Structure 1
Amino acid sequence: MKAILCQKHGLPESLTYSDVPEPEISEGEVLIQVAACAVNFPDVLIIQNKYQFKPELPFSPGGEVSGIVEKVGSAVKHLQVGQRVLALCGWGGFAEKVKVEAGRVFPIPPQMDFITAASTLYTFGTAYHALKDRANLQTGETLLVLGASGGVGLAAVALGKVMGAKVIAAASTAEKLEACASQGASELINYEQEDLKERIKSITDGKGVDVVLDVVGDKYAEPALRGIAWKGRYLVVGFAGGEIPNLPFNLALLKGCAVMGVFWGRFSKEEPKQSQQNIMELVKLIQSGKISQHIYKTYALDQAPQALQDMLDRKVIGKGIIEIDIDGY
């Protein structure tokens, strides 16, 4: 079978399009014929050996797939050969087939296509866990999303609106902010051209924002923290801006605010029942048309390195998807 291989740690250009053996599954795993695999920022980090999970070389990146179950381990009872599924595999998804622990595989509703399924878990799963479980976002509160045009950012914008918050989207270009407005942001900040702290103050009449969801970190984190309201909640989701910020924690004292981490991958393992409940709720929101994924572009499997380079260059608005043809679908 064909796969994109990381044979040495480095940038996307170092990846190879290779022939590899079909994975062999254990009794608790399933083999999935991949139809679509989402492109996520952790994929850029994992090939550089900069992510929390560090698979042994060689490996394929790609942690979020949809497709058809081809084989089922002897201990797996809730999945069947031929079933349409989505899965959180961690890595291995940039390939024609991938093996996944059965507990990380979920059936796709009949009316959901493969691209929608593959673009749901990381972004909407992370954003929903952040806003619902960590921040306890309430109707009428104000939500600021930093890096709002990325996959998690746009998902947070859409979910924030559905949850009844006033959403402020912050991104680096007019094109990106336009996409944020289309997902429900009522206020927009271009943080490359505007003073982030002052714009927050202006928009909120000096009160500050109740919740900050931050996927970029870097130089934007401190002014956002300074713009948080009394008893606000600052959600640390990622560091797409490059640098991990050193925050002055006297601000947390002065504002009575909470700075909390959001690690959806670990949450889904530590609290599987709550994670499953969240996914079911997200599927209902998608089916009802209340939220939808913004697809930036679809790529063929051999174009996956370019997809990762586009992610690294911050060109991707919403989600990039690797699409693989499956006979009969």
Structure 2
Amino acid sequence: MKAVVVEQYAAIDQIELKLVARPAVTPGSVLVRVQAVGIGFVDGLKVQGRYQTKDPLPFIPGTEFAGVIEAVGDGVAEYAAGMAVMGMARSGALAEAIVVPAEAVSRLPDGVSPEEGASFRANYLTAYYALTERTTLRQGEIMLVLGAAGGVGTAAIQIGKLRGARVIAAASTAPKRDFALRLGADAVIDYTQPDWRDTFKTLTEGHGADVVFDPVGGPISVDAFRSIAWNGRHIVVGFAAGSIPALPFNLPLLKGGSLLGVDLAQVPRREPAAFQRCMADLYRLLGNRELKPAIESVFALEDFRAAFKTLAGREALGKVVVTIAP
């Protein structure tokens, strides 16, 4: 089968599409013919060996996928060949087939495309857990979303609106800001402008942000913390800007503010009950079409390098998806 194979940590131009052996189903697992793979910022870091944990070489990148079950292993009763599923693994998705434990997949709801299924779990679980478990975003509160046109930013916009918040989306280009407005943001800000905090202050009538949703990092994060309301909460979910900011400790004191972190990889192990609650809610919201992944950038498997470059160049609107089979 065809698969993207990382034989050494390197830039994406040095990674190749290869023919490898098709995986065999094992007890307790399912073999899925992959139709679509959602690519995230973390995937690009893993390929280069720059993520906080490294996959042993060689490996097939890609964590989120959707497809059709081809075979089930001994002991698997809840799935059967022919079922459409969506799932998430540590790696291995950028291939024509993947074997994962049965608990790593769930049924793809009726009316949900493979592209949407492959774009859902990581971003929406991150945003939903952050805004319902790590803190509680309340109706009428103001939420500032940084990096609002990216995969997790668009998820935060949609979930924020579902929870009745006023969502102000910060993005660096006019097309990204227009995209955020189409997704339901109440207002937008160009955070590349030196006076963006003044604009934000005007938009909030001096109140500031009750919640800052921050997948960006870098200097903009400290500026955003300076703009939170009294008792505001700043949620850190990533560092797409490439640098980790240092927060002056006097700011939380002056603002009565909280800095909260979300590491999705640890949630199932450390908070299994919260994980199950969030997944059940999200699965219902996806099935009801109350949440719909925003997908603008779709690439064929043979064009996987372009998918990674779109992410690295911060050119993507919504989730980046690689399609593998019809």
What TM-score bracket applies, with the shorter chain setting the length? over 0.9
Contact 2:228 2:255 in 1 (8 A): yes
Contact 1:196 1:223 in 2 (8 A): no
Q: Which amino acid aligns with 1:144?
A: L
- Aligned position for 2:311: 311
For 1:77 and 1:249, how far apart are their aligned partners in 2? 53
Q: Which amino acid aligns with 1:313?
A: G
Contact 1:4 1:302 in 2 (8 A): no
For 2:43 and 2:50, how far apart are their aligned partners in 1? 10
Counterparts in 2 of 1:247 and 1:209: CA distance versus 1, 3 Å: same
Percent identity among equivalent residues? Answer: 39
- Aligned position for 1:109: 109
Q: Does 1:82 align with 2:82?
A: yes
Q: Deviations over 1:248-301 (max 9, x none)?
A: 122112212111111122213433443233233223323333322221221111
The 5-angstrom pairing of residues 155-234 of structure 1 reads: 155-234=155-234
Find the residue that maps to 2:48 and give its secondary structure: coil
Contact 2:4 2:15 in 1 (8 A): yes
Contact 2:297 2:318 in 1 (8 A): no
- Aligned position for 1:146: 146
Counterparts in 2 of 1:84 and 1:289: CA distance versus 1, 3 Å: closer
Aligned residues: 326
Deviation for aligned residue 1:80:
2.1
Counterparts in 2 of 1:269 and 1:82: CA distance versus 1, 3 Å: farther
For 2:281 and 2:194, how far apart are their aligned partners in 1? 36
Q: Which amino acid aligns with 2:233?
A: R
Q: Does 1:3 align with 2:3?
A: yes
For 2:40 and 2:5, how far apart are their aligned partners in 1? 16
- Aligned position for 2:98: 98
The 5-angstrom pairing of residues 266-305 of structure 1 reads: 266-305=266-305
For normalisation by structure 1, the TM-score amounts to: 0.95
Which piece of structure 1 moves more, 23-32 or 160-169? 23-32
Counterparts in 2 of 1:91 and 1:151: CA distance versus 1, 3 Å: same
Counterparts in 2 of 1:4 and 1:176: CA distance versus 1, 3 Å: same
For 1:222 and 1:10, how far apart are their aligned partners in 2? 31
Contact 1:196 1:220 in 2 (8 A): no
Which piece of structure 1 moves more, 290-299 or 225-234? 290-299
For 2:112 and 2:289, how far apart are their aligned partners in 1? 12
For 2:302 and 2:148, how far apart are their aligned partners in 1? 29
For 2:187 and 2:216, how far apart are their aligned partners in 1? 19
Q: Does 1:241 align with 2:253?
A: no
Find the residue that maps to 1:47 and give its secondary structure: helix
Deviation for aligned residue 1:194:
4.4
For 2:221 and 2:248, how far apart are their aligned partners in 1? 10
RMSD: 1.5
Contact 1:196 1:224 in 2 (8 A): no
For 1:252 and 1:321, how far apart are their aligned partners in 2? 38
Deviation for aligned residue 1:231:
1.2
Q: Which amino acid aligns with 2:136?
A: N
The 5-angstrom pairing of residues 257-268 of structure 1 reads: 257-268=257-268
- Aligned position for 1:256: 256
For 1:200 and 1:100, how far apart are their aligned partners in 2? 45
For 2:54 and 2:271, how far apart are their aligned partners in 1? 22
Deviation for aligned residue 1:104:
1.6
Q: Which amino acid aligns with 1:33?
A: R
